[in-house]
A = this chain, B = another copy of it.
Amino acid sequence: MEGRPKMPQEPADAVDGVAEAGLPTRQELDLNQFLPYRLNRLADRISDELERMYAQRYELNVAQWRVLAWLSHCDDLTAKKVCTYTNMDKARVSRAVQALVDRGLVSRTPSVRDQRVHELHLTGDGAELLSRLIPQAQDWEAELVATLSVGEYRDLLNAMGKLERQLERMG
User: Interface residues, chain A, CB within 8 Å of chain B?
Assistant: 1-5, 7-8, 10, 15-17, 24, 26-31, 33-47, 49-50, 66, 69-70, 72-76, 84-87, 122, 124, 127, 130-131, 134-135, 137-138, 141-148, 150, 152-153, 155-167, 170-171
Query: A94 CA to B145 CA in the complex, in Å?
Result: 35
Residue in chain B with minimal CB distance to A16: B127
Query: A134 CA to B35 CA in the complex, in Å?
Result: 13
Q: How far, in Å, is A135 (CB) from chain B's closest CB? A: 7
Specify how many copies of this chain sit in the oligomer: 2
Contact across chains for B50 and A43 when beta carbons are under 8 A apart: no
Query: A1 CA to B137 CA in the complex, in Å?
Result: 15
Contact across chains for B148 and A159 when beta carbons are under 8 A apart: yes
Query: A37 CA to B95 CA in the complex, in Å?
Result: 20
Contact across chains for A166 and B144 when beta carbons are under 8 A apart: yes
Chain B residue numbers with a CB within 8 Å of A45 are 87, 164, 167
Contact across chains for A160 and B42 when beta carbons are under 8 A apart: yes
Contact across chains for A134 and B27 when beta carbons are under 8 A apart: yes
Residue in chain B with minimal CB distance to A8: B74
**Cβ-neighbour of A69 out of B5, B8, B37, B41 (below 8 A):** B37
Query: A150 CA to B144 CA in the complex, in Å?
Result: 25
